[in-house]
Amino acid sequence: MRQCRVTLVRRGGWSWGPDPEGLVRQLLARLPDLLAAEYSAELAGAGPDVEIAAPVTLVVRAGTLTAVPASPVVVADTPPPAPSAPEPAADPVSFAEPVAGESPQPQSIAGFFAELAERGELDPMLALLPEAARRHYVRAALEHVRADPGALPPAVVDRLRAALPGPELPEQNGTAATESTVDVTAVRPGTAVETASALPFLLAGPLARVGYLDAIGPVLAEDAPLFAAALAYKVLGPAARGWRRTEPDRRTAAAFAGLADVPDDDLAAFARRGRPALGVLDGVLALALCRGHDPAVPLLLAGAAGGLVLADAQGMFPIAWSGSPSDLLPHWEACGRPPVLVCDSPLPRRCLADLVSAGVPLITDVRPLRGDPLARLPWRTPLWTAGAVELRHAADFPGHAARLASFVRALVLERRAVPLAAAPDLERSVTLAASLGLGMIAWQLWHDRETPEPVLALSRFGDLDASVRFEAHAVRVRVPLGRRHADLLRAGLLADVPRVPWLGGRTLTFSGG
């Protein structure tokens, strides 16, 4: 047997019984007998040997096991899904418990770069990083290598040095190397908190699947809880008067971050000093989205809050948010140089001309300025184009533009995570992360019924409350039973999230009640 997947499925009822882990132990203990009974004919006699190459599924009813509730038990040997395939529709409940006394050590930035190199993603990641972030963290990794020469293979060290051209400049004011961190108070084990929304906690699983949580520890260290609080604020209610939070939202953001409270001044200070780290986190998300993008699917571009948002039209996943078209060209190239639909919005001066001069094929409903190298499309609505773009994208343009405008309104204009921040970097970073998490939730739940987009998950799960209990090795989130809980469970969105960096490496678990 090369691979075996065991799934317990409960249909109906209110719980898994008094001993859920016992169900798994009983089933695993019976598995050899079940397989022997299934293949008794093939195993009888002296041969010949039989090789079974196709996946095999065994369905075992509850009556065959002792003390199992009235539900079927499915034992399946299935190959793992392809990386680009959606998550399975039914995910097993994880009963794994953290090992008592286990204290996971945070990964270093050198270890993070080493993992990227093993996966063949180091060079694409460095290409997507802003220059300030690349210089800051490549220098930090090389300093780590000087202290520990065996931390990185020589080939990786050479590639990092090649990514650091020019003289090594001193750190500028406001970076993580020159400003001290702020002391925050963590929630004590045994504390229970009633939160206004479970949505921030639901983001952790999708972000963990793309490797985002693995990058937070090395690049943010003790500032990870403050980033988590900003991420929570992005999917909670809009701030009154542009900056004032309600008490339930403050309590929810603090619980998600594992803190007793989140002072606004601490968030503003973190937004100032954490700018290099945010570039690395944005690069992780962009790399995951660019790697999975189909070049035949267009990208969407719109101006928002003094910058440009580049999004994947399929699922409305935001890839990058930057200040100029030139900053977005590496992302466009990493996506396979697809056509770009530029939506009517506040665009920087000469935005269209810069895109066309870079060779970007585009369609836009923005009336070009004199000298812009665009041609009018023979279409029923005013559209202009440059480069070789299929006319079918013109037919899809209104729907894409409407969804992108809804996204910008809900997650950029109406909700600000850190209103007191002087620079937009933290706001943009948590917007990208929250939107990716929301988009993955929407895709898992509704991609076969309607067009998924982040705003759907935000509107349908924003008022789903939760009870959170902090323990020594886990943080347990209990959401109310009902249709939404059942949908999340079937889509695999309530699976455990191990080693959450802002929770001290504890496991985030979900249950219903």
* pLDDT tens by residue, 242-251: 778 999 999 9
**Model confidence at 197: pLDDT above 90:** yes
> Of the residues 54, 77, 100, which one is the last residue of a structural domain?
77
**Model confidence at 97: pLDDT above 50:** no
Residue 391 lies in a domain: yes
Please state, in angstroms and rounded to a whole number, the distance separating the CA atoms of residues 20 and 12.
Answer: 15
Would you state the pLDDT for residue 89?
Answer: 34
Residue 330 lies in a domain: yes
Question: pLDDT by residue (tens digit) across 7-38?
Answer: 777 655 445 665 667 777 787 888 888 877 77
Give yes or no for a contact between 470 and 484, defined as CB atoms under 8 angstroms apart. Answer: no
Please state, in angstroms and rounded to a whole number, the distance separating the CA atoms of residues 445 and 448.
Answer: 8
Would you state the pLDDT for residue 170?
Answer: 43
Residue 151 lies in a domain: no
In terms of Cβ atoms closer than 10 Å to its own Cβ (0-12, 13-18, 19+), residue 373 is: exposed
**Model confidence at 343: pLDDT above 80:** yes
**Model confidence at 456: pLDDT above 60:** yes
> Of the residues 380, 410, 440, which one is the last residue of a structural domain?
410
Number of domains within the chain? 2
Residue 135 lies in a domain: no
Is the pTM higher than 0.85? Answer: no
Please state, in angstroms and rounded to a whole number, the distance separating the CA atoms of residues 326 and 80.
Answer: 39
Q: Which of 456, 512, 496, 443 lies closest to 87 in space, CA to CA?
A: 443
Half-sphere exposure of 185 (CA within 13 A, CB side): 5
Residue 317 lies in a domain: yes
Residue 262 lies in a domain: no
Question: pLDDT by residue (tens digit) across 356-381?
Answer: 999 999 999 999 888 888 999 988 88
Looking at residues 262-266, what average pLDDT do you find?
86
Please state, in angstroms and rounded to a whole number, the distance separating the CA atoms of residues 149 and 231.
Answer: 36
> Of the residues 53, 77, 101, which one is the last residue of a structural domain?
77
Would you state the pLDDT for residue 17?
Answer: 60
Would you state the pLDDT for residue 183?
Answer: 55
SS3 percent helix, strand, coil of the chain, rounded to 5, is 45, 15, 45
Residue 118 lies in a domain: no
Residue 375 lies in a domain: yes
Which residue segment(s) compose the domain that 299 sits in? Answer: 294-410
Please state, in angstroms and rounded to a whole number, the distance separating the CA atoms of residues 508 and 494.
Answer: 10
Please work out, in degrees rounded to the nearest 5, the angle formed at the alpha carbon of residue 270 by the alpha carbons of 266 and 274. Answer: 170
